[in-house]
Amino acid sequence: MDQIVNVNEFQELARQALPKMYYDYYSGAAEDKHTLKENVEAFSRIMFRPRVLVDVSKIDMSTRILGYPISAPIMIAPTGNHMLAHPQGETVTAKAAAACNTIMIVSCMSSCTLEEVALSCNAVRFLQIYVFERRDVTAQVVKRAEKAGYKAIVLTVDVPKLGRREADIKNKMIPPKLRNFEGLTKVQPSEGSGVEAFASRALDASLNWKDIEWLRSITKLPILIKGILTPEDALKAVEAGVDGIVVSNHGGRQLDYSPATITVLEEVVHVVKGRIPVLLDGGVRRGTDVFKALALGAQAVLIGRPIVYGLAAKGEDGVKKVIEMLKNEFELTMALSGCPTIGDITRNHVRTEDERLKSNL
């Protein structure tokens, strides 16, 4: 792995390692894939305003999310079906997260059961969930998460219906059995049915803001909402009493031509006014991206596809390498920008495209 110099290089290694159907499943997105590309490219339009002659001989990247300490503001996003990338699936990803002292958000669509992931290593982890038409299924999963020591629930809210992922349709991708829902036929893919048919049968398209109250009534765990892209919804989330927001467009897999998450982060942060943490998901491929997200008000970023690519290419070591590379780049960016601690990163350290255009008028 010595010849790998950045996170992007893991994508090609994963492409070589995986069957085409599985690589397409992980790398694919909705329709024209505009949002997928824009998630990454939007970062390149944000420039730095580095400060010099600051003592950066010691850099401290550590931070806390919901009170839990992590080594850097880089967390693992929920992604499903890790056994398609590695025979031991999410247990390997979890061990890498623990070794890197960060938080993994485990997907309820994981290949391993949430209990298996919990037993694999001692670390702080959150559980991502969907609300199914059968509410008792969701309630059961939440109770199991509490019992297994998960520290928060991350509710994904941008999938009333599944986005049109054309590569999966073309490949006739059939999702594997979901071990978190064994014995529950309504939330299992049926023989020969694709991802889309399964989602339309299992997920609850009637989910709305009132249901947040229901979720709060069945758990004492903190609840974060993942899938917010507008200040209007961010305000509603705060009013609904959630404990955190994840600005996310589902990695471009849902509504194509939704905005790149980094472009809407600041307006979400503006209405939240520091009352709850705001995390950014989508497009982070460099340590410079992590810095830009924090400068625009995020408490941390979530890493999705690069983690799966690292897992597919090199197993646990690959996942660790992805996280460590991002941490090393982030540490260097902090030093070169004149920021010895996370608290020193401010809005004045970056300049967005809008600001540059206005200054040229």
The fraction of the chain above a pLDDT of 70, given in percent, is 95
Asked if pLDDT for residue 186 goes beyond 90, the answer is no
Residue 308 in any domain: the answer is: yes
User: From start to end of 167-303, where are the E strands?
Assistant: 223-228, 244-247, 278-281, 300-303
Stretch 180-196: mean pLDDT, rounded? 63
What pLDDT score was predicted for residue 49?
A: 97
Residue 48 in any domain: the answer is: yes
DSSP state string for 310-356? HHHHHHHHHHHHHHHHHHHHHHHHHHHHT-SBGGG--GGGEE-HHHH
HSE-CB at 214 with a 13 A cutoff on CA atoms is 11
CB atoms within 10 A of CB 155: 22
Summarize pLDDT for 233-257 with one digit per residue, the tens.
999 999 999 999 999 999 999 999 9
Annotated binding site for glyoxylate: 25, 165, 250, 253
Annotated binding site for FMN: 78-80, 107, 128, 130, 156, 226, 248, 281-285, 304-305
CATH number of residue 144's parent domain: 3.20.20.70
Residue 1 in any domain: the answer is: no
Stretch 263-267: mean pLDDT, rounded? 98
Residue 2 in any domain: the answer is: no
Asked if pLDDT for residue 322 goes beyond 50, the answer is yes
Mean pLDDT lowest for which of 157-166, 186-195, 324-333? 186-195
What pLDDT score was predicted for residue 183?
A: 74
- What is the average pLDDT score of the chain? 93
Annotated binding site: 25, 78-80, 107, 128, 130, 156, 165, 226, 248, 250, 253, 281-285, 304-305
Stretch 164-178: mean pLDDT, rounded? 84
Per-residue exposure over 261-290, b if at least 16 CB sit within 10 Å of its own CB, e if not: bbbbbbbbbebbeeebbbbbbbbbbbbbbb
Asked if pLDDT for residue 284 goes beyond 80, the answer is yes
Summarize pLDDT for 73-130 with one digit per residue, the tens.
999 999 999 999 999 999 999 999 999 999 999 999 999 999 999 999 999 999 999 9
Q: The tokens of 87 are what?
A: 């025979």
- Total number of domains in the chain: 1
Stretch 264-288: mean pLDDT, rounded? 98
Please report which confidence band the pLDDT of residue 193 belongs to, taking 50, 70 and 90 as the band edges. Answer: very low
Residue 276 in any domain: the answer is: yes
Active site residue 250: yes
What pLDDT score was predicted for residue 277?
A: 98
The fraction of the chain above a pLDDT of 90, given in percent, is 83
Stretch 330-359: mean pLDDT, rounded? 93
**Structural domain containing residue 316:** 7-359
Global model pTM greater than 0.85: yes
Residue 186 in any domain: the answer is: yes
Question: Which residue in the list 34, 82, 86, 250 is annotated as catalytic?
Answer: 250
Residue 206 in any domain: the answer is: yes
Q: The tokens of 270 are what?
A: 């503006």
